[in-house]
């Protein structure tokens, strides 16, 4: 518990530096590119187009979902995944990327993944605003359910911040860990219901798997805001399972941080 409180104190103490570094990370990400910030939209737009073309034109499986065109159902899940995918990699590699903050400035290592997370969240927020605009052009106006976007954004931010603190320490120590995560990302993508409806799963083990899959919960949560129109308090069981996974991840992260925080500067 003392270690967890120490992490919180470090974030409070260095809050101004965290936000300044988040801005720096945003600038560095797109600096030197002719199109600049446009790449934040172009990259997910190309991905969405490819999957839309494959499913609607190639496989002819793009049927409407809950009365919404398949394209809208697709972007409601792919845009959140774009943020998650970024955090899986960027969060994990954050300490390696900003090693000078640890080795030269003695910056608290627990705060490094946080400012990277803030940087990616800004892009995520812009893309979600674009999703809302696209829904509006199709005639689907925002409603009270749309406001839940902020609830799921907070959950996603907390989950991936904790994940990034944990994974960035292991990635700094072992290249094998980062290679493993990169290798299984494709499996996580296809097994989390990004491109298909996990609500259709009837097998008991499958239901349990998706019930405790935090990626599935977050993706379906964003789709609840735009497509299914389900309030988060209407699914307490799913929220409870997500919180259990989050608690376990937090405990593992705190224990890992306690053991490795003194070794990370030497390793980097």
DSSP assignment string, the chain: -HHHHHHHHHHHHTHHHHHHHHHHHHHHHHTT-SSGGGHHHHHHHHHHHHHHIIIIIIS-----BTTB-HHHHHHHHHHHHHHHHHIIIIITTHHHHTHHHHHTS---GGGHHHHHHHHHHHHHHHHHHHHHHHHHHTT----GGGGGHHHHHHHHHHHHHHHHHHHHHHHHH-HHHHHHHHHHHHHHHHTTTSSS-GGG---HHHHHHHHT-HHHHHHHHHHIIIII---GGG-HHHHHHHHHHHHHHHHHHHHHHHHHTTTHHHH-
pLDDT tens per residue across all 268 residues of the chain? 778 888 888 888 888 888 888 888 887 776 655 555 666 677 777 767 776 676 666 545 556 777 788 888 888 888 899 899 989 999 899 888 888 888 877 788 889 999 999 999 988 998 888 889 888 988 889 999 999 999 999 999 999 999 999 999 999 888 889 899 999 998 998 888 888 888 888 888 888 999 999 999 999 999 999 999 999 999 999 999 999 999 999 999 999 988 888 787 777 6
Separation CA 187–CA 116 (nearest Å): 24
pLDDT of amino acid 194: 87
pLDDT of amino acid 55: 63
- C-beta separation of 228 from 55 below 8 A: no
Separation CA 77–CA 219 (nearest Å): 5
- C-beta separation of 250 from 8 below 8 A: no
- Minimal CA–CA distance to 221: which of 154, 163, 136? 154
């Amino acid at each position: 518990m003392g270690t967890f409180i120490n992490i919180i104190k470090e974030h409070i103490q260095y809050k101004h530096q965290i936000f300044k570094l988040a801005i720096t990370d945003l600038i560095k990400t797109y600096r030197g590119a002719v199109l600049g910030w446009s790449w934040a939209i172009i990259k997910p737009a190309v991905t969405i187009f490819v999957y839309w073309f494959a499913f609607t034109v190639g496989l002819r499986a793009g049927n409407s979902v809950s009365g919404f065109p398949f394209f809208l159902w697709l972007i409601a899940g792919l845009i959140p995944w774009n943020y998650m995918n970024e955090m899986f990699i960027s969060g994990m590699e954050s300490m390696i990327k900003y090693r000078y903050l640890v080795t030269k400035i003695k910056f608290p290592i627990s705060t490094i993944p946080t400012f990277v997370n803030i940087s990616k969240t800004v892009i995520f927020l812009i893309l979600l605003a674009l999703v809302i605009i696209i829904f509006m052009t199709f005639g689907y106006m925002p409603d009270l359910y749309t406001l839940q976007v902020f609830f799921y954004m907070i959950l996603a931010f907390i989950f991936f911040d904790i994940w990034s603190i944990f994974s960035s320490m292991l990635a700094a120590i072992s290249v094998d860990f980062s290679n493993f995560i990169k290798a299984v990302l494709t499996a996580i993508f296809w097994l989390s219901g990004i491109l298909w409806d996990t609500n259709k799963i009837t097998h008991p083990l499958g239901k349990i798997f998706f019930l405790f899959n935090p990626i599935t919960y977050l993706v379906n949560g964003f789709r609840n805001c735009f497509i299914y129109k389900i309030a988060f308090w209407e699914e307490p069981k799913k929220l409870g399972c997500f919180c259990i996974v989050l608690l376990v991840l937090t405990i593992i992260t705190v224990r890992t941080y306690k053991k490795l925080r003194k070794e990370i500067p030497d390793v980097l």
